Amino acid sequence: MATESAAVEFRIDRRSGVATYLQIVQQTKQALRLGVLEPGDRLPTAREVVEATAINPNTVLKAYRELEREGLVEARRGLGTFVRRTLGGAPDATAADAPLRTELADWARRARAAGLEKDDVGALFTAVLDSTYSTNGTDPVGRSHKGDQKR
Partner 1 sequence: MTGVAIEAHGLGKTYGRRGGGHRALHDCSFRLPAGRVCALVGPNGAGKSTLLNLAAGLDRPGAGSLAVLGSTEPAAVRDRIAYVAQDKPLYPQLTVADTLWAGAELNPGRWDRATADRIAGTLPRTARVRTLSGGQRTRLALALALGKRPELMLLDEPMADLDPLARHELMGALMAETAEHGTTIVMSSHILTELEGACDYLLFVDGGRVRLGGEAEDIVDAHALLTGQARDLAPHTVVESRTTGRQLTALVRKEGPVDTAAWAVTQPSLEELLLAHLRSPDAPPLLTPSASAGVRAEGVSA
Give the residues lining the site for partner 1 (CB under 8 A). 12, 14, 20, 45-47, 50-60, 150-151
Residue nearer to partner 1 on the CB measure, 32 or 53: 53
Strands (E), the chain: 42-43, 73-76, 80-83
The least CB distance from residue 15 to partner 1, in Å, is: 10
The least CB distance from residue 48 to partner 1, in Å, is: 8
Q: Cα 48 vs. chain centroid, distance in angstroms?
A: 19
Residue nearer to partner 1 on the CB measure, 14 or 76: 14
Residue 8, classified by CB atoms within 10 Å of its CB into exposed (0-12), middle (13-18) or buried (19+), is middle
84 close to 71: Cβ distance less than 8 angstroms: yes
Residue nearer to partner 1 on the CB measure, 20 or 81: 20
